[in-house]
Structure 1
Amino acid sequence: MHAGEWWHKDLTEVDKVYLNSNDNDPAAATINGKLGDLSNCSGKAEESYVLEVEPGKTYLLRLVNAALYSEYYFKVAGHSFTVVASDANYLRPFSTDVVAVAPGETMDVLMVADAPPCRTYHMVALAIEAPEPDPQLPLYISRGLVRYKNIDVQCGSNQGAVMPEMPDHHDTTTTFHFHGNLTGAAPGHPLLPQVRGPVDEHLYIALGQGSVCRGNRTSCKRGGSSESMLVAYMNNVSFHLPDNLALLEARYRGDAPLSTVEELPSRPPRPFNYTDPAPIPVAPGGKGEAIEPTRKATTARRFRYNATVEVVFQSTAMMQSDSNPMHLHGHDFFVLAQGHGNYDAASDARSYNLLDPPVKNTVHVPRLGWAAIRFVADNPGSWFLHCHFEYHIAPGMATVLVVDNGPTPETTLPPPPTHLPNCPN
C-alpha cells in the first residue's frame, strides 16, 4: 500500500518548475492511487481504496511513501500495528497505532483483523508539515476503508465507518519518537563488527535552502527578490548535474574526466546556529539574508573500497524547517542516533546505538535536528545521495559518493555496456 499525491501537471514539468524555484503544490493525497471520499474533484465523492479482511487473520501491510512532497502519518481506526521491517530490512518488532513514513521510505507492519466485524474502519494517510513560520500548505489527507468480508450476512447491515483519531498535521514529535523506536532485529549483521570499529571518513552535512543569483550574476538582491533563485544545498553547495558526461562513466574512465567535479566539503564552510528559527521567514533584511548565498557545482566524495564512513546530517532552519528523508543508492546503512537541535559530537556520539541499530537506506533527519549513520563503502561505483523530497532534490540537495574498486573482479566496476547511448549534451 502506498501513500501518494495527485498532480495536475506532468511530473517532468513539476521537476522543471522546482528547478526554477517556483511554487508547485500537489492537488490532493492518495492511498493506492485513489483520492478517497474526502475529495470531490469531479463534483462528487471520489472512490476510496478498500481492503477486505477476514476476522482473526493477520495481514502484512507493506507501506510505501511514494509522494513527492510530504511525510505521512498512517492509521486504521480500531486496529493497531506491529512494525517488523523497514527498507527491506527486519526490525525488532514493536507495537504502535500510528506509522510515520517519509518519502522514499518503506515500513512493513502486521495488522490483526480483530475489531468488531460489523463496522467498517477508515484508514487515513495525513501529510505532516512544519508549523509556522514555515510556508503553509493545504491540508493533504486521504482515506480508504478496511471492511470485513460478509458483514451483510453476519450483521444484517453495515453500521457505518469509524474514523481514527489522527495526530495534528503540525505534530513532528510523534514521527521523531516513531523513528527513534526503530532497532535492528539482527545483531549478528556481518558488517556490524566493522561499523563498531574505527571510522575512516567523517562527514558533517548541513541540509538547507539558500539562493543563487539568476543569470549567473555574481551579486544580486536576496531575501525573496526576483533577482535571486531558491536552491537547496548540502554544505552550502547546490548539486548541478554535469553537462556532457555521466558521472558513472567518468568514474570508469578514471580521474581526468572528473576534473570539473568538486569534492563535497566535510563540514559546512560557513557555520551558524543551524536550528535558530529566525532565518525561516524569507524577507528583505531578514536574519537569513546574509547567510542564504549558495553556489551551484557538481560535487562528489570519493572513498576507498571497504572504508567505514560516518555521516551526520544536520537539518537547518534556512528559509524553511522541514525534516529531510536522506536516501543513499547502492548501500544500506546503520542508523546510530537522532536528536533535536544542533549536533554536538562531544556529547551526542555517546548516545550512538552500536548494539542493534536499524539497517536502512533512507534516514529521517528530524525537523530542526540531526541523524547519524554509518556504512561500509563496499559497492564500487558512483552513488547518488539525496533528500527524497522533490522540492529539495530538484533544486540541489544531493551529491555523489564514489566508491573505488576492490581487490577482486567481483568488486570491480564493470565497463559500460556496448549499447550505451552516446549523450554528448
Structure 2
Amino acid sequence: MEAFQGQCFMHGVKQPRNPWSDGPEYITQCAIQPGTNFTYEVVFSDEEGTLWWHAHSDWTRNTIHGAIVIYPEEGSSYPYPKPDGEEVLVLGSWYTYDVNLMVEQDLATGVDLPISDAYTINGQPGDFCACSKESTYRWQVDYGKTYLLRIVNAIMNAEVFFAIAGHNLTVVGTDASYLKPFVASYILIGPGQTMDILVTANQSLGQYYMAARQFNTGKAGFPLYDKTNVTAVLEYRGNYTPPASPSFPSDTLPLYEDIPAGITFRNKLRSLHKQNVPKNITTQMYIVASQNQFLFNNSGNVTISLATSLNNVTWVNPKMDVLHAYYSNMSGFYTEDFPDMPPNFYDFISEVLPVNTTQSLLGTKVKVLEYGEEVEMVFQSSNVLNSSEDHPMHLHGHSFYAVGAGGGNFDFEEDPKTYNLVDPPYVNTATLPKNGWLAVRFKALNPGVWLWHCHLDRHLSWGMQTVIIVKNGGTSETSLREPPATMPACSDPPTIQLWKSEYVSRNVGGS
C-alpha cells in the first residue's frame, strides 16, 4: 500500500473497497482546489504487469500521467524467462496551445473538440516532426539480449498501431494481466490500454525506428486526424557506422484505415490460463454507444451542439460527487434508473437513420448492482450521424472478461454461441468496434461507486459515460470503507462541467 500526492486516477488499479482514492472528478470526489492537496491511498490486489496513472479532470491527463510497474510478488517470477532488461514507452498527444482552454471554448459553442498536432513517445514526436529531430527518444540495447517493453497509450483520442523495424514483438500481457504469448509484427493499442511485449535484439547492429501510426476508424474521408508517424529509435550498442537514417517498419506497420489488421490483432488476445468467467448471469445489459446532437434555441438563434450517449442518456456531472452523495444517502444528485436496454431498437449500423435518433436525454443516471452479481454487458456501436467509430470502453474498480466482439448488430440468439468462456482476456479497457458489438462479463465484488466510460476524451467530455454502484456485501470485509477525513470539499463546478445543464431549459424538444 503506497501513498501518492496530487489529483490522479490509478488506471486499472481496482482499489478494493476504496473508491475514495479512485479520482474521477464529480464521480468519486470533487475537485482539489488550488492551494490544497489530497493524498491518495493506492491499494493493489491481483494486478501484475504494467498500468498507469493520470489526472481525471478536464483534459489535464494530456500532460499529467505516468506508468505504474507491478512486479511479481517476492518468491514468484514471470511466466516466461526473466528478461535481461526493460523499457517503458508512453505514447502521448501533443498540442501547440492550451488544450484545456480550447476544450472549454469548444464545449461552450458546441463545435468539435481539439485534434492533436502530433503524437509523442516518451514526450518526443520523433524524426518526422521538424521541431523534434534532435530530441527523438532513443533506447539502447545489446545484441542477443531480450527486453520487456512496457507500452502505455496515454493518447487522448486515438488508437495506434506500433511496430519496430526488423524486430518481432512477443505479446505477453495487457492491462496488468498475462496473456498466452504470441508473436506479432505489430500491435494495436487503444487509449487507456497497456501492453507488455518481449523484444529480442537479434538484428544487425544498427538503428531501427519504433513507430506508431493512428488507427483511424472515424468517418470516411474525415481529414482532421494526425497523420504524422511518431517515432523513437532502437539503437544497438557497439562499433558500427550509423546509417544515414534508421530503418522504418514500412512492411509491418499497418496503414491508417486498415480495419482487418486491427481485428486480426485483437482476435489473438487470450488469457494465459483458463479463467473463472461468470456464467450464472443475474444482470444482463445491452448498451448502445452513440454520437448525438442537441439543438439550442438561444434568443431565436438555433445552435447545434455535439454530444454522445449510452442508451440515449448523455451524462451530466452533478454538483456533488456521486460517491459522497451515495455514502451519505443524499438525494437529488443522481437517479438509479440507467436503462438496461436502449429506448428503441433499430438498425444501429445503417447509413440512413431516423432523425429522432440524434437527440439524447440529459441526466445523471446510475446502475445499481447487488454485491456478488454476475453481470454481462453487451455494447453496441451506433452509426447515428454516420459517426460510428471504435470506442475503448473502460471500467473503474474492476477488470472484466472481454468474451466476444463482432461486426454488425448484435444477434441475441447466435452471437452468444461464439463467446470465449474459457480464456478470454482479463482487462480493464476493451474496444467496441466500429459498427459492431462488444460483450464483457464481470462479477461485482468491489463495493462502491465506479465509472464506466469511453476512453476517447472527446466522447467522455460529450457524455459517453455512466456509473455503476456496487452495494455492500454482508460483512465488513465486503463493504465500502469509511471516507478519509481529508476528502476535497465540493463547490459549484466550473463552466466546463456545466455546459450541457445550463441549456436544458432551452433544449428544443426537451429532455
TM-score normalised per structure 1 = 0.89
1:80-118: CA deviation from partner (whole Å, max 9, x where unpaired): 11110000000111110110000001111111111111x
CA distance in 1, matches of 2:241, 2:228: 35
1:164-205: CA deviation from partner (whole Å, max 9, x where unpaired): 122110112211221111111121x4xx15x1x210101111
Residue 423 in structure 1 maps to residue 510 in structure 2: no
User: Which residue is 1:25 aligned to?
Assistant: 115
Query: Superposed, which structure 2 residues align to 1:9-408 within 5 Å?
Result: 9-17=97-105, 19-20=107-108, 21-23=110-112, 24-40=114-130, 42=131, 45=133, 47-117=135-205, 119-130=206-217, 132-133=219-220, 135-138=222-225, 139-150=227-238, 153=239, 155-158=240-243, 160-165=245-250, 166-187=253-274, 189=275, 192=276, 195=278, 197-214=279-296, 227-243=303-319, 245-254=320-329, 256-257=330-331, 260-278=334-352, 287=353, 289-319=355-385, 320-408=387-475
CA distance in 2, matches of 1:273, 1:208: 13
Secondary structure, aligned partner of 1:394: helix
Q: 1:33 to 1:423 in 2, by over 3 A?
A: same
Q: 1:391 to 1:134 in 2, by over 3 A?
A: farther
For structure 1, which segment, 401-410 or 268-277, has the greater mean C-alpha deviation from structure 2 after superposition?
268-277
User: Which residue is 1:6 aligned to?
Assistant: 94
CA distance in 2, matches of 1:417, 1:67: 32
CA distance in 1, matches of 2:434, 2:262: 10
Deviation at 1:134, TM superposition (A): 5.9
Output the amino acid matched with 1:302: V
CA distance in 2, matches of 1:352, 1:394: 32
Moved over 6 A (4+): none
Deviation at 1:46, TM superposition (A): 5.1
CA distance in 2, matches of 1:366, 1:315: 7
Output the amino acid matched with 2:365: T
Q: Is the Cα contact below 8 Å between 1:18 and 1:391 reproduced in 2?
A: no
Secondary structure, aligned partner of 2:323: helix
TM-score normalised per structure 2 = 0.74
Can you give the 5+ residue segments of structure 2 that lack an aligned partner in the other structure?
Answer: 1-88, 493-511
| RMSD value, Cα | 2.0
CA distance in 1, matches of 2:235, 2:134: 18
Structure 1 vs Structure 2: percent identity of aligned residues? 33
Q: 1:146 to 1:260 in 2, by over 3 A?
A: closer
User: Which residue is 1:284 aligned to?
Assistant: none
Deviation at 1:32, TM superposition (A): 1.1
Q: 1:409 to 1:324 in 2, by over 3 A?
A: same
Deviation at 1:130, TM superposition (A): 2.2
Deviation at 1:242, TM superposition (A): 0.8
CA distance in 2, matches of 1:260, 1:215: 26
For structure 1, which segment, 369-378 or 258-267, has the greater mean C-alpha deviation from structure 2 after superposition?
258-267
CA distance in 2, matches of 1:396, 1:252: 24
Deviation at 1:144, TM superposition (A): 1.3
Instruction: Provide the aligned length of Structure 1 versus Structure 2.
Output: 398
CA distance in 2, matches of 1:304, 1:9: 45
Deviation at 1:18, TM superposition (A): 5.3
User: Which residue is 1:283 aligned to?
Assistant: none
Deviation at 1:33, TM superposition (A): 0.9
CA distance in 2, matches of 1:9, 1:262: 40
CA distance in 1, matches of 2:233, 2:254: 19
